[in-house]
């Protein structure tokens, strides 16, 4: 019996004038953890959608367990034991945790009437299987994106799966949850299940993968065993260039003046007595675990929550930020962590998404909008951030995940804010583009007119780009460090120590 589970041969896919996949191949063995990597828009999600039967390929074959197909449909793919956790997760926000996990399963087993008791039992077992504790009756819409991802994972293991595909399952998870997930993946592997895993976090790929395959621009570049490759080679395969980031040091920071200052800011059940200052020329970093209060803080600074007490100053002038409208008027911009629900208008074109935050500036006399200028501005950001698209008037949904994230970033940068708050700005962005975005932020900082606050749980992103780093824990700032005094393992310890890190 062959040990090959899935073999893709010469598969192509075009969308109008865009070639998403050009005769690619991929071979996955039974019980193998296989990582598919490559830059944003290189065709990873498209291939996954072909394997799951969501798209029909324009050519090529799919061989599953010795049987050859020219295409699959969704039902067939599920029956073969293929389960996919999509990048946008397909979670139903109005349903509870239990319903989200077990509903499809009840339908899959052809039950006409849903047995609610069953739903609960199934959901409980699935969560226990992956060692996660989330209240079953909670509505999923109110959960963090990390919990949503864990629910999608719990749901996928319910079926008689032979291949579980995870499209960036760790994008919103912190290290502790990633450890949990990896434990689950290794357990699934022991049960003989194959895993296809897409990630832009290279350290994770190295940690978990037996085999990896690199795509670039819709083409297969290389497929190799993970143990036979160095980090540098890997980055080169993906990007076609050598990338080495250096610490940002803010040599010319002007500490005698202040661009943004927060004094004793408090939000009930969010955070307490938060104080910090950003000087011209600096990038300030805030990092902490999920639930540490970092996102509540970001949202408060943007007026999505109203602080209970404390003061905020922009260029030494005290301001009140009680709504996002106040924030916009004061030129405070916020790049949110969850682009799908907070960052984009999903039914609109790429261009409309880019100009929406700037509509006031684009307004001409008589209330008409200068779309010509909007178009030029949009083109500028497409070029600067390397957004891969066909046409600006295409729907935002036609962009790959990472390219959507770049649109969110571009639209806020275009507002030329005084205070730029970035929450996980490069989640899902490929390593090359990430490097370019980091360089862009450094250049902005050096211009000394914009306060940049970078909130992230990407340890390297924080270390490399924030010359000062604050650690937040249970809603309080527990330490301030210079980036050059830390390395990644030390920073990791600082974030988790005293948090009773669970054994994983």
* The two three-digit tokens of residue 17, written as one number: 């004038």
Residue (of 414, 373, 406) closest to 389 by Cα position: 406
Of 44 and 155, the one with the shorter C-beta distance to ligand ATP is: 44
CB 49 within 8 A of CB 11: no
- With contacts defined by CB under 6 A, name the span among 44-52, 126-134, 138-146, 362-370 that binds ligand ATP: 44-52
Among 15, 108, 116, 345, binds ligand ATP (CB under 6 A): 15
Of 87 and 349, the one with the shorter C-beta distance to Mg ion is: 87
* The two three-digit tokens of residue 346, written as one number: 């999903």
Farthest CA pair distance, the chain: 74
Minimum separation from the CB atom of position 20 to ligand ATP (A): 3
**Residue 363, beta-bridge partner list:** 369
Return d(Cα 502, Cα 504) in angstroms, integer: 6
Question: At 482, phi and psi to the nearest 5?
Answer: -85, 140
Of 20 and 208, the one with the shorter C-beta distance to ligand ATP is: 20
Q: How many CB atoms lie within 10 A of CB 341?
A: 14
Among 20, 35, 39, 45, binds Mg ion (CB under 5 A): 45
Minimum separation from the CB atom of position 433 to ligand ATP (A): 9
**Position 57 contacts ligand ATP (CB under 6 A):** no
Per the listing, tokens 């009680």 go with 322
Sites for ligand ATP among residues 423-462 (CB under 6 A): 430
- With contacts defined by CB under 5 A, name the span among 82-90, 312-320, 408-416, 446-454 that binds Mg ion: 82-90
The site for Mg ion, by CB under 5 A, has a size of 4
Sites for Mg ion among residues 376-415 (CB under 5 A): 400-401
Sites for ligand ATP among residues 327-356 (CB under 6 A): none
Return d(Cα 441, Cα 12) in angstroms, integer: 37
281 contacts which partner out of ligand ATP, Mg ion, none, CB within 5 to 8 A by kind?
none
Return d(Cα 317, Cα 448) in angstroms, integer: 17
Minimum separation from the CB atom of position 174 to Mg ion (A): 21
* The two three-digit tokens of residue 156, written as one number: 């996928």
52 contacts which partner out of ligand ATP, Mg ion, none, CB within 5 to 8 A by kind?
none
**Position 44 contacts ligand ATP (CB under 6 A):** yes
Of 102 and 166, the one with the shorter C-beta distance to Mg ion is: 166
Of 87 and 174, the one with the shorter C-beta distance to Mg ion is: 87
Minimum separation from the CB atom of position 21 to ligand ATP (A): 8
Minimum separation from the CB atom of position 87 to ligand ATP (A): 6
388 contacts which partner out of Mg ion, ligand ATP, none, CB within 5 to 8 A by kind?
ligand ATP
- With contacts defined by CB under 6 A, name the span among 14-22, 71-79, 137-145, 409-417 that binds ligand ATP: 14-22
- Tell me the DSSP string of 409-421: HHHHHTT--SEEE
Per the listing, tokens 């990430």 go with 434
Among 5, 26, 42, 298, binds ligand ATP (CB under 6 A): 42
Residue (of 333, 285, 294) closest to 465 by Cα position: 285
Q: How many CA atoms lie within 13 A of 18 on its CB side?
A: 16
CA distances from 72 to 5, 179, 398, 461 (A): 15, 33, 22, 40
**Position 38 contacts Mg ion (CB under 5 A):** no
Return d(Cα 328, Cα 193) in angstroms, integer: 49
Minimum separation from the CB atom of position 174 to ligand ATP (A): 20
H-assigned helices in 172-265: 175-190, 202-208, 231-239
Of 400 and 465, the one with the shorter C-beta distance to Mg ion is: 400
Beta strand extents in 191-335 (DSSP E only):
194-198, 211-216, 219-225, 260-267, 271-278, 283-287, 309-314, 317-319, 332-335
**Position 45 contacts ligand ATP (CB under 6 A):** yes
Sites for Mg ion among residues 470-499 (CB under 5 A): none
Return d(Cα 488, Cα 481) in angstroms, integer: 13
Q: Which 3 state secondary structure label does DSSP give 426? A: coil
The site for ligand ATP, by CB under 6 A, has a size of 20
Of 280 and 428, the one with the shorter C-beta distance to Mg ion is: 428
**Position 92 contacts ligand ATP (CB under 6 A):** no
Return d(Cα 343, Cα 335) in angstroms, integer: 7
- Provide the mask over 380-419, with x wherever binding to ligand ATP is found by CB under 6 A and - wherever it is not: --------x---------xxxxxx----------------
- With contacts defined by CB under 6 A, name the span among 42-50, 118-126, 444-452, 458-466 that binds ligand ATP: 42-50
Return d(Cα 382, Cα 386) in angstroms, integer: 6
Of 374 and 386, the one with the shorter C-beta distance to ligand ATP is: 386
> Exposed (0-12), middle (13-18) or buried (19+): which is 199, by Cβ within 10 Å?
buried
Residue 427 CB contacts under 8 Å (≥ 6 apart), including other chains: 171, 172, 337, 339, 405, 458
398 contacts which partner out of Mg ion, ligand ATP, none, CB within 5 to 8 A by kind?
ligand ATP
Note the residues at the interface with ligand ATP (CB under 6 A). 15, 18, 20, 38, 40-46, 87, 388, 398-403, 430
Note the residues at the interface with Mg ion (CB under 5 A). 45, 87, 400-401
């Amino acid at each position: 019996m062959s040990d090959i589970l899935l073999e893709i041969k010469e598969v192509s896919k075009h969308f109008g004038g865009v070639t998403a996949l050009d005769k690619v191949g991929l071979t996955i063995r039974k019980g193998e953890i296989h990582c598919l990597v490559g830059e944003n828009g290189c065709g990873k999600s498209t291939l996954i959608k072909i394997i799951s039967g969501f798209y029909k390929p324009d050519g090529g074959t799919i061989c599953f367990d010795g049987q050859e197909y020219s295409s699959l449909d969704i039902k067939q793919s599920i029956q073969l034991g293929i389960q996919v956790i999509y990048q946008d997760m397909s979670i139903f926000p109005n349903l509870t945790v239990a319903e989200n996990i077990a509903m499809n399963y009840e339908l899959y087993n052809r039950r006409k009437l849903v047995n609610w008791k069953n739903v609960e039992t199934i959901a409980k077992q699935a969560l226990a299987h992956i060692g996660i504790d989330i209240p079953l009756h909670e509505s999923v819409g109110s959960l963090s994106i990390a919990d949503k991802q864990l629910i999608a994972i719990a749901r996928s293991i319910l079926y008689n799966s032979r291949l579980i595909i995870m499209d960036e399952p760790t994008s919103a998870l912190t290290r502790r949850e990633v450890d949990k997930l990896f434990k689950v993946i290794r357990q699934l592997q022991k049960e003989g299940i194959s895993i296809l895993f897409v990630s832009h976090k290279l350290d994770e790929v190295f940690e978990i993968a037996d085999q990896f395959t690199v795509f670039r621009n819709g083409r297969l570049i290389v497929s190799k065993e993970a143990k036979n490759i160095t980090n540098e080679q890997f980055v080169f395969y993906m990007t076609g260039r050598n990338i080495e980031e250096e610490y940002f040091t803010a040599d010319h920071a002007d500490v005698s003046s202040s661009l943004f200052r927060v004094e004793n800011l408090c939000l009930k059940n969010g955070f307490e007595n938060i104080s910090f200052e950003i000087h011209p020329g600096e990038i300030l970093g805030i990092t902490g675990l999920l639930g540490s209060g970092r996102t509540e803080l970001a949202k408060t600074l943007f007026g999505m929550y109203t602080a209970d007490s404390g003061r905020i100053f922009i260029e030494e002038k005290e301001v009140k930020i009680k709504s996002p409208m106040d924030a916009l008027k004061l030129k405070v911009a916020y790049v949110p962590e969850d682009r799908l629900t907070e960052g984009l208008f999903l039914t609109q074109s790429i261009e409309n998404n880019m100009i929406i935050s700037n509509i006031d500036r684009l307004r001409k006399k008589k209330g008409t909008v200068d779309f010509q200028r909007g178009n030029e501005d949009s083109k500028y950001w497409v070029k600067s951030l390397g957004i891969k698209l066909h046409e600006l008037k295409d729907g935002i949904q036609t962009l790959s995940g990472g390219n959507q994230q770049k649109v969110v970033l571009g639209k806020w940068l275009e507002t030329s804010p005084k205070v730029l708050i970035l929450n996980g700005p490069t989640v899902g962005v490929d390593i090359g583009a990430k490097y370019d975005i980091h360089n862009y932020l450094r250049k902005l900082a050096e211009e000394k007119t914009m306060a940049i606050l970078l909130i992230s749980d990407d340890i390297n992103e924080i270390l490399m780009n924030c010359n000062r780093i604050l650690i937040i824990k249970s809603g309080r700032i527990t330490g301030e460090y210079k980036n050059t005094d830390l390395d990644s393992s030390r920073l990791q310890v600082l974030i988790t120590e005293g948090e009773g890190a669970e054994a994983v």
